[in-house]
Structure formats: structure tokens, C-alpha cells
């Protein structure tokens, strides 16, 4: 179990970047850390890996305390792996050599098998012999993930792991990687801006705002019943609307254009989304967004119905 107990941290003479963070993660569990840029996600990952000396609080993995560079000649806990936003690969050696670097030279067959297994996970078999230097940013990112997994860590920390990977590859890579981690019971913490990483693949989610935990729980729960606009906005466009004297947070698919209703709005723009259109309209002086099957011309009046959020 990872125990993060009331940790706080600040870089030299700067204001606190982590303020009193506490949470737990069981072996094999998958956590997403979300929050706006600069909120402290990367700093949290570094603290968990043991790259920083926290100002107060404690971190434990099982019975062992995670300590920073002041206590270790080579910082970073050996049973974790951390993939930073710069991938730190060996540019002039091949993809397969990069992955096999930390595997035993005394068991070449086993090392080869493991490297192939990981090349499969990151969908890079065809690039095994290529020099890392000649790969795209997204391909290098995938090699960095495979290399981190080579020695089967107990937990992997991934900082924006799909930031450079195109949508075409991203979805299948996500599915392969996260099911591989579950299969091997490797715990995982992912810092991400992408709500899909949390909704489809995480057991738990933490939302950081102003360097503190604003919300934590199961992603589905935080998505369906967000208490703050900030949390809902991590997943989709969100409308903050007064209905019957009550302030409600609604996603575009919660609002429907109907034949008649006491709420009418004037359409300002329609944005094509492929499966549907996102309509921007003005309701009582406020901009709102709702989903609709067709484009609606600007200036049209629409009547709106607000659905209740399902459990």
C-alpha cells in the first residue's frame, strides 16, 4: 500500500507547491492525478518516486519509508519506475537495446522474450532495431514506457504518458498498457490532463487545485456528481446554470432542445463534433453549451430541458 501522509513541499524559497496532501493506493491499483497546468502534478510524482525531500509529512510504500535525495546517494526508489516528460533514453542505441538495458545479460533468452513482450505492448515491434534518435517524439515516449516496465516495478509513475502520441495510436496503446499493468498487478499513478485516462482506466482519481487536493474518489463518481465546476471541467464542457433557484453543473448532453419549455435561449454558434453538434446559446445573458443532432442556425430561439443526472 502507498501511504501519502500530509505531505507539503516547496522548491527553494518559493511558495508551497504541495500543501498537505494525503491519500492511499493499494498494489495493482491505478490512480489518475488531474489538475490544471502548474497545480503540482509532476511535483507530486517526483515526491512519490523519492526525487524530492518533502518539507513535512511522510510517504510509505508497504513498510518502507520513501525518502528523498538527502537520504539516498542515488535518488528514486528501486521498486518504482518513473517516466518523466523528458524521456531520458539512450539516443544512439536501438529501441530494443534501450528496453533491455536494465535486464540481466546472464539470461539472454529471458531478456529477449521480455523485450519482445514489451515491444508488443507499445506496438513498436517493427522499430526494434531502429536508433531512438531517429524516432518521433511519440515513439520515444512509448519506448520510455516500455523501458520503465522492463524490470516489472511494483509501481510505475507516468507523467503525461500520451502527450506526444496521436489519437490514432493513443486509444489502442492506452488499452494495451493499462490492461498489461492490471495483469501484472503493477500499481500506476498517471498525471494527466485527459479525462479519458481517468474515466476508462483508473480506479481512483485525485484532483489538485491551488496545490491542494480539491476532490478524490472513483472517477465515475467525480464525473457524475462533481461538486465543483473545476472538477467537471476536467471531463467536458460544463454549464453552471441556476435552475429553480438551485445552482447546477450540467454537461452538454444533459441539456436538450425540446418543443416548448420555460427556458428559452438564442443560438450563437454550432460546432461540428462528428457524432453530434455542440450548440452555443445565450440563456438569460449567460453562454451555455448543449448537444444536438443537427446544426442550428445562429439567431434561432430554442427551448431547453435540463435532465437530471443519473446515478
Query: Which residues make up the interface to ligand ATP (CB under 6 A)?
Result: 11, 14, 17, 35, 37-43, 191
Closest to ligand ATP by CB, 40 or 68: 40
What minimum distance in Å lies between the beta carbon of 208 and ligand ATP?
Answer: 7
With respect to ligand ATP, which residue has the nearer C-beta, 37 or 247? Answer: 37
CB of 164 closer than 8 Å to CB of 138: yes
Q: How far apart, in Å, are the Cα atoms of 180 and each of 114, 117, 201, 204? A: 13, 10, 12, 18
- The length of the chain is 311
Shorter beta-carbon distance to ligand ATP: residue 162 or 306: 162
Minimal distance in Å, beta carbon 174 to ligand ATP? 18
Q: Measured from the CB of residue 45, what is the shortest distance to ligand ATP in angstroms? A: 8
Question: Cβ of residue 214: shortest distance to ligand ATP, in angstroms?
Answer: 13
Expressed in angstroms, the distance from the first to the final Cα of the chain is: 30
Q: Which is nearer to ligand ATP, 157 or 281 (CB)?
A: 157
Kindly state the smallest distance separating residue 55's Cβ from ligand ATP, in Å: 13
For residue 218, give the C-alpha cell: 472513483
> Rounded distance, CA 231 to CA 137, Å?
30
Supply φ then ψ for residue 249, to 5 degrees. Answer: -105, 120
For the record, the C-alpha cell of 20 comes out as 498537505
The b/e string for 280-292 (b: 16+ C-beta within 10 A; e otherwise) is bbebeeeebbbbb
Question: 108-121 vs 167-183: helix axis angle to the nearest 10?
Answer: 130
Q: Between residues 18 and 241, which has the closer beta carbon with respect to ligand ATP?
A: 18
DSSP one-letter code for 133: G
**Between 132 and 190, CB nearer to ligand ATP:** 190
Min dist CB 236 to ligand ATP, Å, is: 19
Amino acid at each position: 500500500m502507498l501511504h501519502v501522509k500530509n505531505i507539503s513541499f516547496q522548491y527553494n524559497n518559493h511558495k508551497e507547491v504541495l500543501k498537505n496532501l494525503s491519500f492511499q493506493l493499494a498494489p495493482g491499483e491505478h490512480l489518475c492525478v488531474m489538475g490544471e497546468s502548474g497545480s503540482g502534478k509532476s511535483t507530486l510524482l517526483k515526491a512519490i518516486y523519492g526525487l524530492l525531500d518533502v518539507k513535512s509529512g511522510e510517504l510509505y510504500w508497504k513498510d518502507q519509508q520513501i525518502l528523498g535525495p538527502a537520504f539516498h546517494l542515488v535518488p528514486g526508489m528501486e521498486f518504482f519506475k518513473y517516466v518523466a516528460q523528458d524521456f531520458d533514453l539512450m539516443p544512439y542505441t536501438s529501441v530494443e537495446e534501450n528496453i533491455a538495458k536494465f535486464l540481466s545479460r546472464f539470461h539472454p533468452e529471458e531478456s529477449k522474450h521480455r523485450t519482445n513482450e514489451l515491444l508488443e505492448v507499445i506496438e513498436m515491434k517493427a522499430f526494434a532495431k531502429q536508433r531512438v534518435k531517429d524516432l518521433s517524439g511519440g515513439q520515444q515516449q512509448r519506448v520510455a514506457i516500455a523501458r520503465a516496465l522492463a524490470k516489472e516495478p511494483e509501481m510505475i509513475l507516468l507523467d503525461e504518458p500520451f502527450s506526444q502520441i496521436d489519437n490514432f495510436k493513443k486509444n489502442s496503446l492506452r488499452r494495451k498498457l493499462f490492461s498489461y499493468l492490471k495483469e501484472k498487478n503493477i500499481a500506476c499513478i498517471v498525471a494527466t490532463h485527459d479525462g479519458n485516462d481517468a474515466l476508462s482506466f483508473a480506479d481512483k482519481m485525485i484532483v489538485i487545485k491551488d496545490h491542494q487536493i480539491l476532490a478524490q474518489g472513483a472517477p465515475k463518481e467525480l464525473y457524475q456528481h462533481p461538486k465543483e465546476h473545476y472538477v467537471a471541467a476536467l471531463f467536458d464542457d460544463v454549464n453552471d446554470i441556476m435552475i429553480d433557484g438551485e445552482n447546477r453543473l450540467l454537461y452538454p448532453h444533459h441539456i436538450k432542445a425540446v418543443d416548448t419549455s420555460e427556458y428559452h435561449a438564442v443560438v450563437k454558434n454550432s460546432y461540428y463534433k462528428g457524432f453530434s453538434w455542440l450548440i452555443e446559446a445565450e440563456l438569460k445573458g449567460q453562454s451555455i453549451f448543449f448537444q444536438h443532432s443537427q446544426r442550428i442556425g445562429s439567431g434561432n430561439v430554442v427551448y431547453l430541458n435540463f435532465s437530471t443526472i443519473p446515478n
